[in-house]
Structure 1
């Protein structure tokens, strides 16, 4: 999944952050596999471990929506 984080307030050193996220529907987990501030997948994170959303409502909502589309 591709996503974009936009900070609530911006300054000269604050940038939007682009993420590429893998979602594990059966395990309700995720991992960030790449990120950048200019284009998707510029910096790959090959060793990213699967993470539990730990109750984060935004991430849980994203996982639910992605998995609903897949199924």
Structure 2
């Protein structure tokens, strides 16, 4: 039985071209998120990392979530 794909690269190209990303590739790319800036939430004292939606106002972001922002006045 002959393989219809002459090399792994052509098979990978076909898979990625369809929009499907294999889990082993996702895991290999996960290390890029380690270099994101972080802050400490003053309410829950947990570290939270930069997110794309905070790109324009990262300096003004103080709380990790809406829940912590609401709880700031209680504590």
Q: TM-score range by the shorter chain?
A: under 0.3
State the TM-score, normalizing by the size of structure 2: 0.26
State the TM-score, normalizing by the size of structure 1: 0.26
**1 or 2, which has the higher strand percentage?**
1
Which structure would you say has the larger RCO, counting Cα contacts within 8 Å and 6 or more residues apart?
1
> Which has the higher Rg, Structure 1 or Structure 2?
2
**1 or 2, which has the higher helix percentage?**
2
